[in-house]
Amino acid sequence: MLPLVLLGCLSLPTSMNNRQLFQQYVAQTSPAPVGIEIVAAEGNYLYDADGRRYLDLIGGISVCNIGHRHPAVVAAIKAQADAYLHVMVYGELVQSPQVKYAELLVKNLPETLNCVYFTNSGAEATEGALKLARRATGRTEIICCNNSYHGNTMGALSVMGDEYWRSAFRPLLPGVWHYDYNSKELIDAINERTACVLIETVQGEAGVIEPHQVWIQQLRDKCTATGTLLIFDEIQCGFGRTGKLWGFEHYGVVPDVVLLGKALGGGMPLGAFIASHALMHVFTNNPVLGHITTFGGHPVCCAAGMAGLQALLDEDMTDGVAEKEQLFHKLLKHESIKAVRSKGLLMAVQLTSPELVIRALQRCLADGLFSDWFLFAPDCIRIAPPLTITHDEIAQACEIILASLEG
């Protein structure tokens, strides 16, 4: 765990008035937030109140896969705002943005993933999927991974794979068991009492860890044999981030439930869990309204998300990901860089210490490059830019990163 005191090194001055208001009225999540005041964002760049421009190397933590304020998304938001906003709790009225977006998602997923439940966020998608697994199987035990991240609500926190974040909020959900990613112990632990296994298709906050091909196939086989639901969290690695539309496409394994969020909304807040009609139908009886949300699948968010996914597909943004990934690998060579792990444009640049990461991030920010670190890998710089980042911008970003490691 990175000492919180080091986070203060990332702070840069902004408008003191707004900063004071920010600290006084907005709930704080750390003792020293980055604190730059953003007044505009466009394409691959952020702009602050002092007129400085920052190349965005993390895209809102994998939210802005198609860049900030894509014209198609902005147009869709304006058009839907002119029609209607919230009209009724989720699932009671036919709202065309929800229907059309669900159809587009299903058309781009395996045939067994054909029923969409929209939520407000990825964490809520996790909560819904955990409920679905318990209700559909009649079982209570859940298996997940160490160093995993699935959100921060109480259920999602229960399956988070790090005791530092869990311990202050116990008691959490009972019957949750954590094992190492890619471990035989996890496969062996699956039995007829297991409701679901929940894993990230590619572990993000652990510092970009891929599943072994044999392991993930064995995981699928064991879940099928025991009647256990296999849930893949694609919240961070979906929507082209890995070089394919869905991360699980790399491994030839299809989950029973997939979790989506972040880039799902095209920059607007939106999450979803997707399963088969047969699975999702259990929410309709005993009890009726087995899962309900007021604002989940908000029509403006669904309109924005659909426009974003359509732009991703129409503009073939995923096609260039592998080439851009390799360019980062080619350029990021330095004695302080121990490793560069990646799956597409989800990358972790491992340095020699967490302290060096903080110093490098401070220098990058001062030089107009905005980046971050990982919850469970504080010795790594996060790289997850908009997929629209250009080769010239990659070269510029790498030059700034390398310069930040000098001295």
Listing DSSP states for 207-262 in one string gives TSBPPPHHHHHHHHHHHHHHTPEEEEE-TTTTTTTTSSSSGGGGTT---SEEEE-G
pLDDT score at 3:
36
Boundaries of every domain in the chain: 4-66+317-404, 71-314
CATH number of 71-314, picked from 2.40.10.120, 3.40.50.150, 3.40.640.10, 3.90.1150.10: 3.40.640.10
The conformation of residue 377, written as its DSSP 8-state character, comes to: -
pLDDT score at 81:
98
pLDDT score at 16:
59
Please state the separation of Cα 87 from the chain's center in Å.
28
Asked whether the beta carbons of 341 and 350 are under 8 A apart, the reply is yes
Question: How far is Cα 387 from Cα 193, in angstroms, rounded to an integer?
Answer: 41
Which among 387, 234, 247 is positioned nearest to 325, based on CA atoms? 387
pLDDT in tens, the chain (407 residues): 333 333 444 444 445 588 788 878 888 878 878 888 999 999 999 999 999 999 999 999 999 999 999 999 999 999 999 999 999 998 899 999 999 999 999 999 999 999 999 999 999 999 999 999 999 999 999 999 999 999 999 999 999 999 999 999 999 999 999 999 999 999 999 999 999 999 999 999 999 999 999 999 999 999 999 999 999 999 999 999 999 999 999 999 999 999 999 999 999 999 999 999 999 999 999 999 999 999 999 999 999 999 999 999 999 999 999 999 999 999 999 999 999 999 999 999 999 999 999 999 999 999 999 999 999 999 999 999 999 999 999 999 999 999 999 97
pLDDT score at 340:
98
pLDDT, one tens digit per residue, over 210-267 is: 999 999 999 999 999 999 999 999 999 999 999 999 999 999 999 999 999 999 999 9
Question: How far is Cα 65 from Cα 324, in angstroms, rounded to an integer?
Answer: 14
pLDDT score at 338:
98
pTM comes to 0.94
Does residue 289 come out as left (phi exceeding 0), alpha (psi in the -120 to 50 range) or beta? left
pLDDT score at 8:
44
- Please report, as a single letter, which amino acid is at residue 335: E
pLDDT score at 9:
44
Question: How far is Cα 43 from Cα 379, in angstroms, rounded to an integer?
Answer: 29
Question: How far is Cα 248 from Cα 264, in angstroms, rounded to an integer?
Answer: 16
Local structure of 325: helix, strand or coil: helix
Rg of the chain, C-alpha, whole Å: 21
pLDDT score at 25:
85
If you classify domain 4-66+317-404 with CATH, what class do you get?
A: alpha beta
